[in-house]
Amino acid sequence: MLAVELVRRGAQRFADRTAVVVGDREFSFAEIDERAGRLANALLAAGAGRGTRVGLLVDNGEWSIPLDFACLKAGVTRVPLNARLAVAEQTRMLAETGVTLLVYSKPLAQRAVTLAEALDGLRLAGLGDRQRAQDLDLVAELDRVPAADPRVAVAPDDVVLALYTSGTTGTLKAAQHTQASYAAITTNILANLLSPGRGSAMLHAASLIHASGTFVLPYWIRGGRAVVLPGFDPGSYLDSITRHRVTDVNLVPTMLGLLLAGSTVDAAATLDTIVYGASPMPKPLILEALDRFGPKFVQYYGQTEAPLCQTVLGKADHLQTDLLGSCGHPAVDAELLLTDPAESGPTRGDR
């Protein structure tokens, strides 16, 4: 299965339904797909095609999801940059991956210019922005290119994502995903964590370049909505849950702690599932959360190299307090082996 085919299937099946919500704006599946098609054609016209690598320095906004889909349609490898990293780190990432075109969103324009000045030959393409005469405004180009899907021929092994992670080593390295492996992430999420439907909505406050973004396609292919926030603020986060009838959220423990510190947690009545991961959950925090929200929690552990989940602690598991310190059960599509560095083979037992 190709990831780009999942984009096409969702767009065709749910064309008129709302797919993405950003602020006060709602975009249908057809509108997102058309934006993706135009952006893909604009990237192709700019010289980015199958096998080329395009850097992305973007925040959570109305272009985030269409841009990711456009890269799939154009056959390019997207190289997202964490906006919080230092210039030196971002420069190294772009140089190592051979990026010659950097797409950026307007709030990050000055950083994009700094990177272009540091790297010879790096061209800039803004999303509704143009800082220099030689730069390109991709949004301005959309009316000059076809809306139709360019239907670039791609293969299952084509790399679609090179995502830098520091992992447990502290050294930035690029984990690569292909058309096939990125599609497999969708299967992994649907098989182990969630089963969204047409009435489902996932709230995205964390950056879409990391784990939060992997939930977009599973909801897209099932007709659910992605509600995108520019960042995490406890008050506006809870307001968005109520306002947009959000059914599912994806949190890290720090975010959950900030939510519990507020007084309006109990108003989030539409929530069905609270997925969490990325770091260990303190037992006192999850016990308080269960008391406040009820048994709505699902925990996962995974790696950027093999997302999304390799182990899962489900809702029913959270009712057994002795399991709350566990990383969970192996995912249905994962095979785990426990090893001891002091021994040559696997350890005994299954935990």
Give 49: exposed, middle or buried? Use CB within 10 Å, 0-12, 13-18, 19+.
middle
Give the pLDDT band (50/70/90) at residue 304.
confident
Q: Is 233 helix (H, G, I), strand (E, B) or coil?
A: coil
Residue 186 in contact with residue 209, Cβ under 8 Å?
A: no
Joined together, the tokens standing for residue 312 give 């899962």
Give the pLDDT band (50/70/90) at residue 337.
confident
In this predicted structure, the answer to whether residue 70 has a pLDDT above a threshold of 50 is: yes
Arithmetic mean of pLDDT, 158-175: 84
Give the pLDDT band (50/70/90) at residue 265.
low
Give 226: exposed, middle or buried? Use CB within 10 Å, 0-12, 13-18, 19+.
buried
Give the pLDDT band (50/70/90) at residue 342.
confident
In this predicted structure, the answer to whether residue 9 has a pLDDT above a threshold of 90 is: yes
Give the pLDDT band (50/70/90) at residue 30.
very high
Please give the residue that has the higher pLDDT: either 244 or 168: 244
Q: Give the model's pLDDT for residue 73.
A: 98
In this predicted structure, the answer to whether residue 205 has a pLDDT above a threshold of 90 is: yes
Arithmetic mean of pLDDT, 109-118: 97
Cα–Cα distance measured from residue 101 to residue 44, given in angstroms and rounded to the nearest whole number? 11
Q: Is 323 helix (H, G, I), strand (E, B) or coil?
A: helix
In this predicted structure, the answer to whether residue 350 has a pLDDT above a threshold of 60 is: no
Joined together, the tokens standing for residue 254 give 């720090």
Q: Give the model's pLDDT for residue 278.
A: 80
pLDDT tens track for 39-57: 999 999 999 999 999 999 9
Arithmetic mean of pLDDT, 159-184: 88
List the beta bridge partners of residue 346: 339
| Widest CA span in the chain | 65
In this predicted structure, the answer to whether residue 243 has a pLDDT above a threshold of 90 is: yes
Arithmetic mean of pLDDT, 96-103: 96
- The answer for residues whose C-beta is within 8 angstroms of residue 160's C-beta and 6 or more apart is 3, 71, 72, 76, 77, 78, 177, 178, 179, 182
Give the pLDDT band (50/70/90) at residue 144.
very high
What share of the chain in percent tops pLDDT 90? 84
Give the pLDDT band (50/70/90) at residue 255.
very high
H or E, element range at 160: strand 159-165
For 202, phi then psi, to 5°, come to -105, 130
In this predicted structure, the answer to whether residue 347 has a pLDDT above a threshold of 80 is: no
Residue 59 in contact with residue 105, Cβ under 8 Å?
A: yes
Cα–Cα distance measured from residue 204 to residue 188, given in angstroms and rounded to the nearest whole number? 19
Q: Give the model's pLDDT for residue 351.
A: 45
Joined together, the tokens standing for residue 260 give 């519990």
Q: How far is CA 28 from CA 183, 204, 219, 223, 288, in A?
A: 22, 17, 13, 10, 38
Cα–Cα distance measured from residue 190 to residue 152, given in angstroms and rounded to the nearest whole number? 27
State the virtual CA torsion across 84, 87, 92, 97 in degrees, nearest 10: 60
Buried-state track 112-143, b at ≥16 Cβ within 10 A, e below 16: bbebbeebeebbbbbbebbbeeebbbbbebbe
Q: Give the model's pLDDT for residue 340.
A: 77
Arithmetic mean of pLDDT, 118-126: 96
Q: Give the model's pLDDT for residue 267.
A: 64
